[in-house]
Amino acid sequence: MSKIVLTVACLLALALAVAAIAPPRAETDAERQARLKWWTDARFGMFIHWGLYALPARHEWVKSNERMTDEAYARYFAHFNPDLYNPREWARAARLAGMKYFVVTMKHHEGFCLWDSKLTDYKATRTPYGQDLIKPLIEAMRAEGLRVGFYYSLLDWHHPEYTVDMHHPMRDDKAFVEKSKTRDLGKYADYLFAQVREILTEFGRIDTLFLDFSFPGANGKGRNEWRSEKLLKMIRKLQPGIIVNDRLDLLDVAGGWDYRTPEQFMPREWVKVDGKPVPWETCQTFSGSWGYDREESTWKSVRQLVAMLIETVSKGGNLLLNVGPTARGTFDARAVERLQGIGAWMEKNGRSIYGCTQAPAQFPAPANCLLTYNVEAKRLYVHVLEWPLGVLALDGFAGRVEYAQLLHDASEVPFTEKGGQVGFMPGSRGREAENTLTLRLPVRKPDVEVPVIELFLK
Ligand code: GLC
């Protein structure tokens, strides 16, 4: 009898051990698509870069760019007091701009933590402000219906065990470099693991994680230094539904990333890996710097930003648009103006963005236009960047469209096709080609930043 019990116990122990070491079953393409669905439908999110660098207000890399010592940088910690911080205003601004998720810098390269981490004193609660910045932000964003994402810097220019590399602020100080040779990066990695565990356990469901960044090679840091595979396993275990970016130096590892992150540039086409289109998100700034930059003067216009969003979706991607709040805790006027401008456009035209993707190849975009496509609704959206003279010819569209309207006011756009009369010219038939569908547009460009024509496909 006791023998049987013993055998059963042994078998059970063995089964448990096997389960613990068995690698997790690889996700199928369809499963991954389903996990990412809310995100690929959302298309538009807000990046928030906020930290001590808001005080010097000249780029979030200021500590590294200006080779600042910890002592020199300490003045920003000592004066951090965002007295006007009202996350409900931020959340409202994000929602009204049409954004569906946000990603906030929990810690940037400077090492300063916006949440009340138990693992360090280098955090908001120890500054003159004295309060946690993250819980109220998450609460406010969730209340406005936005999903929650964290940015966490793998680099850390404050941690005493973080070794001096080519990006470190003290890299040119020979004495410092010499002294820091005793640093133990393994201890920093322990801290990194513990912090990531903390942010993924203390704030409820976290939807996305943006880890930044790897620079493998001599004097660099990558998967070995961060223990990336182990880290990612822990992340997926703590938050099974989470969507993780591609900066852990695991591009060649199955399941090592969920989406690609072209930064501050527009890919020429849908981003591909091994010839296959993959989920991607471009992160973009209003003006070049991620952190609040007072003197930065290359701010993009509302029109450029709207076009950027459309172009991103027309290539199957997401746009994560960055705001760098000030050290008072506010979005500055230039950011507010642009968010409102985008929001005015999105309010009427968001249907051509949410749940949309690249148009099928049989619908080529006419000159000065960008197309997006809603597969489920079977609707095609023609974004007209330059308003043409009365007509817009869509080659290859004849016989495929049931109805057309301007999206912002749902007013009909009549069309002709299959050889209809276009205009008069002596000696010419003046007729359109057989496969062309010609939209008859109002002469005046409608009063929206980028007019959209919604085509209901047959
Ligand atoms: C970069 C920069 C950083 C910024 C990030 C956004 O890797 O180091 O300052 O936060 O990109 O994608």
> Ligand 1 center to residue 109 CA distance, Å?
9
Q: Are residues 299 and 413 in the same domain?
A: no
Is the C-beta atom of 39 inside 6 A of ligand 1? no
Q: Could you tell me the CATH number of the domain that includes residue 246?
A: 3.20.20.80
Q: Are residues 192 and 311 in the same domain?
A: yes
Query: pTM for this structure?
Result: 0.93
Residue 201 CB coordination number (10 Å): 11
Q: Are residues 256 and 143 in the same domain?
A: yes
Indicate the top mutation candidate among 50, 212, 287, 319 to test ligand 1's pocket, ranked by most ligand atoms within 8 A of CB: 212
Q: Are residues 254 and 402 in the same domain?
A: no
Residue with tokens 């701009």: 97
* Residue at 152: amino acid letter: Y
Q: What is the largest CA-CA distance in the chain?
A: 106
pLDDT of residue 22: 47
Is the C-beta atom of 281 inside 6 A of ligand 1? no
- Residues of the domain holding 440: 369-457
Domain count, the chain: 2
Q: Could you tell me the CATH number of the domain that includes residue 398?
A: 2.60.40.1180
Q: Are residues 346 and 375 in the same domain?
A: no
CA dihedral 62, 65, 69, 72 (to 10 degrees): -40
Indicate the top mutation candidate among 114, 290, 296, 320 to test ligand 1's pocket, ranked by most ligand atoms within 8 A of CB: 290
pLDDT of residue 355: 98
> Ligand 1 center to residue 209 CA distance, Å?
14
pLDDT of residue 269: 98
Q: Are residues 290 and 410 in the same domain?
A: no
Q: How far apart are CA 296 and CA 98, in angstroms?
A: 25
> How would you write the pLDDT of the chain (458 residues) with one tens digit per residue?
455 555 555 455 544 444 444 445 688 989 999 999 999 999 999 999 999 999 999 999 999 999 999 999 999 999 999 999 999 999 999 999 999 999 999 999 999 999 999 999 999 999 999 999 999 999 999 999 999 999 999 999 999 999 999 999 999 999 999 999 999 999 999 999 999 999 999 999 999 999 999 999 998 999 999 999 999 999 999 999 999 999 999 999 999 999 999 999 999 999 999 999 999 999 999 999 999 999 999 999 999 999 999 999 999 999 999 999 999 999 999 999 999 999 999 999 999 999 999 999 999 999 999 999 999 999 999 999 999 999 999 999 999 999 999 999 999 999 999 777 777 788 777 778 889 999 999 999 999 999 999 999 99
Q: Which DSSP helix (H) or strand (E) runs through 11? A: helix 2-21
Which of 358-390 are b and which e, b meaning 16 or more Cβ less than 10 Å from the residue's Cβ?
Answer: bbeeebeebeebbbbbbeeeebbbbbbeebeee
Q: Are residues 304 and 395 in the same domain?
A: no
Instruction: Tell me the pairing of strands 452-457 and 401-406.
Output: antiparallel
Closest alpha carbon to 49 in 326, 334, 399? 326
DSSP code string of 439-454:
EE--SSPPSSSS-EEE
